[in-house]
């Protein structure tokens, strides 16, 4: 049978919509835009310091002054939001560096604010793990991670970073009741305009490996499964969502993103506040490794990955790809 000898009497042909780039572009249901992306950054103490991160190719740790230069380039290209993580030199049992007004993140927030004013949105991770000698996200008693005292320390950290000028404080510790406690502490201190982005459904995940190396925050004993969520669970995320909304979260997050698109969709359908997804370090590192090995085209893989996270229902995405996308002009 030759190729042209057969035709169907088909009244419906979905392929008409796929005929050309113009046709596809006219009515594509979703489209990724730079304005939705938040670039993750690691902040060092001191001045004039930049270090490459072996596990996160293309991402560096910077001291505040160097960070300002890096962000300036991104901002000129359209990446207008950052999420900051501290990489402190000193750690102790109680993570006291977390609420030091002159800590590296507080300094970086002030430097970014004075350089860019309201042109840049500054988000800060609020967690004790980079600051504690044991590497857990809360205080430790024996081998147990205690909840309520940890929440007090996190609220204190959030207040310091709000005072430095952060737009969003973003608790990633997964202690119970921290959103309400942080809201109350911010309001009492007059920071009523500071928003809270809650890491609402943060799963205990193998995808955080490269981050822990980048931030030096791997736990020295045990793991994080007594506070981060079990990846077998979906309903449990809805319970966390209800609580965080009730406690006053301005935005809710699902983390990681790619293996959790069902949770992102659940949140998009149920949440009255915007939904953020965190495209985490391990997801980034996999894309970079595949590209390096010639297994996939980096541009296509990155756009499909982030585009699918957006399609699943994420209004904004924290990712390490944002600077790259902007620099290469991959979003047009
Ligand atoms: C701190 C924190 C982690 C990440 C963000 N905040 C690590 C962890 O929970 O161990 C992971 C981010 C990433 O992998 O990119 N609690």
* Mean pLDDT in consecutive groups of 10 residues from the start of the chain, 332 residues: 82 96 96 97 98 95 98 98 97 96 98 98 98 96 96 98 98 98 98 98 97 92 96 98 98 98 98 98 97 97 98 98 96 83
Q: What is the pLDDT of residue 204?
A: 98
Model pLDDT, residue 5:
86
289 Cβ contact list (under 8 Å, min separation 6): none
Q: How many helices (H) and strands (E) does the chain have?
A: 11, 12
Q: What is the reported pLDDT for 3? A: 72
At 257 the three-state DSSP class reads coil
**Which residue in 92, 93, 39, 95 sits closest to 67, CA to CA?**
39
pLDDT of residue 1: 54
Catalytic residue among 41, 66, 255, 288: 255
Angstrom distance (rounded) from CA 234 to CA 27: 32
d(CA 317, CA 272): 17
- Report whether 89 contacts 131 (CB < 8 A): no
Quick one: which of 65, 210, 216 has its CA closest to 127? 216
> Catalytic: 288?
no
213 lines ligand 1 (CB under 6 A): no
Cα separation, 264 vs 260, whole angstroms: 7
Cis upstream peptide for 256 (omega within 30°): yes
CA of 255 to the centre of ligand 1 (A): 9
Active-site choice (202, 224, 310, 321): 202
Q: Is 42 in the pocket of ligand 1 (CB under 6 A)?
A: no
d(CA 310, CA 264): 9
Ligand 1 pocket, 150 CB below 6 A?
A: no
Q: Is 255 a catalytic residue?
A: yes
**Distance in Å from the first CA to the final CA of the chain:** 44
Q: Is 284 in the pocket of ligand 1 (CB under 6 A)?
A: no
> Which CATH topology does 31-328 take?
TIM Barrel (3.20.20)
| Predicted local confidence at residue 279, as pLDDT | 98
Measured CA to CA in angstroms, residue 102 lies from 86, 97, 122, 131 at distances of: 12, 9, 17, 14
Contacts of 309 (CB under 8 A, 6+ apart): 257, 258, 261, 264, 277, 279, 317
Q: Is 208 in the pocket of ligand 1 (CB under 6 A)?
A: yes
> Among 210, 217, 322, which residue has the most ligand 1 atoms within 8 Å of its CB, making it the best to mutate?
217
**Domain boundary assignment for the chain:** 31-328
- Cα–Cα distance measured from residue 310 to residue 327, given in angstroms and rounded to the nearest whole number: 21
Cα gap 196→124, rounded to integer Å: 10
């Amino acid at each position: 049978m030759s190729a042209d000898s057969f035709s169907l009497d088909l009244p419906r042909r979905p392929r008409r919509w796929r005929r050309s780039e113009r046709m596809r572009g006219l009515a594509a249901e979703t489209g990724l835009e730079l304005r939705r992306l938040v670039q993750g950054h690691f902040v060092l103490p001191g001045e004039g310091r930049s270090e490459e991160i072996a596990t996160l190719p293309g991402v560096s740790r910077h001291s505040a002054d160097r960070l300002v230069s890096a962000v300036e380039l991104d901002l000129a290209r359209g990446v207008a939001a950052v999420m900051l993580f501290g990489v402190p030199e000193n750690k102790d049992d109680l993570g006291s560096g977390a609420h030091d007004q002159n800590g590296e993140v507080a300094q970086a927030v002030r430097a970014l604010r004075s350089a860019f004013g309201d042109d840049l949105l500054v988000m800060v991770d609020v967690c004790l793990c980079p600051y504690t000698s044991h590497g857990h996200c809360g205080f430790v008693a024996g081998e147990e991670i205690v909840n309520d005292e940890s929440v007090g320390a996190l609220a204190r950290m959030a207040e310091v970073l709000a005072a430095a000028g952060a737009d969003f404080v973003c608790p990633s510790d997964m202690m119970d009741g921290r959103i309400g406690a942080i809201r109350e502490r911010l309001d009492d201190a007059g920071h009523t305009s500071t928003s809270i982005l809650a890491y609402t459904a943060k799963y205990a995940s193998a995808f955080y490996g490269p981050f822990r190396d980048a931030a030096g925050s791997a736990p020295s004993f045990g793991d994080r499964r007594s506070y981060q969520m079990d990846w077998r669970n979906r309903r449990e995320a809805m319970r966390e969502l209800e609580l965080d909304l009730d406690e006053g979260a301005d935005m809710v997050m699902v983390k990681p993103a790619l293996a959790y698109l069902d949770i992102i969709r659940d949140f998009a359908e149920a949440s009255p506040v915007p939904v953020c997804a965190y495209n985490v370090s391990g997801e980034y590192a996999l894309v970079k490794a595949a590209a390096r090995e010639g297994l996939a085209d980096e541009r296509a893989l990155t756009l499909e990955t982030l585009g699918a996270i957006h399609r699943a229902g994420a209004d904004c995405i924290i990712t390490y790809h944002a600077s790259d996308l902007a620099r290469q002009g991959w979003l047009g």
